[in-house]
């Protein structure tokens, strides 16, 4: 395991822990889509033609815990470095309640790019 992957996993774990704390301490989210920085969440649309597997860590070898369909709009909490997927090393922590990780290679941002975790 490289130093970079160890650091990425550490950041991912810290981000997930912080995200869970935020989940229980914040007000309920509105039901309408949003893409701004008003509540710290961002949005993107899945561009992978066959859909996108969601993982429990920001790497392709981690457990698959969900799936997003092509064209689906996803809520994004933040960005970290993870496995390189077709030239893109960025992964998004999704803020849809599953707190799953998705490769940014197959998600186009709606509005501003997500902040760093």
pLDDT by position in tens, the chain (length 117): 444 444 445 544 444 444 433 433 333 333 333 344 445 589 999 999 999 999 999 999 999 999 999 999 999 999 999 999 999 999 999 998 888 999 999 999 999 999 999
CA dist list (Å): 102 to 24, 28, 39, 46: 22, 23, 20, 10
CA distance linking residue 19 with residue 56, whole number of Å? 14
Domains with residue ranges and CATH for the chain = 3-110 (2.30.30.40)
């Amino acid at each position: 395991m490289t130093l970079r992957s160890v650091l990425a996993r550490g950041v991912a774990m810290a981000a997930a822990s912080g995200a869970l704390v935020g989940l229980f301490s914040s007000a309920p989210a509105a039901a309408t889509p949003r893409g701004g920085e008003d509540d710290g969440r961002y949005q993107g649309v899945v561009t992978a033609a066959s859909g996108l597997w969601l993982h429990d860590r920001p790497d392709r070898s981690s457990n698959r815990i969900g799936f997003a369909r092509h064209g689906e709009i996803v809520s994004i909490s933040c960005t970290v470095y993870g496995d390189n997927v077709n030239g893109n090393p960025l992964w998004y922590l999704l803020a849809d309640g599953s707190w799953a990780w998705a490769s940014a290679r197959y998600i186009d941002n709606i509005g501003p790019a997500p902040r760093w975790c």
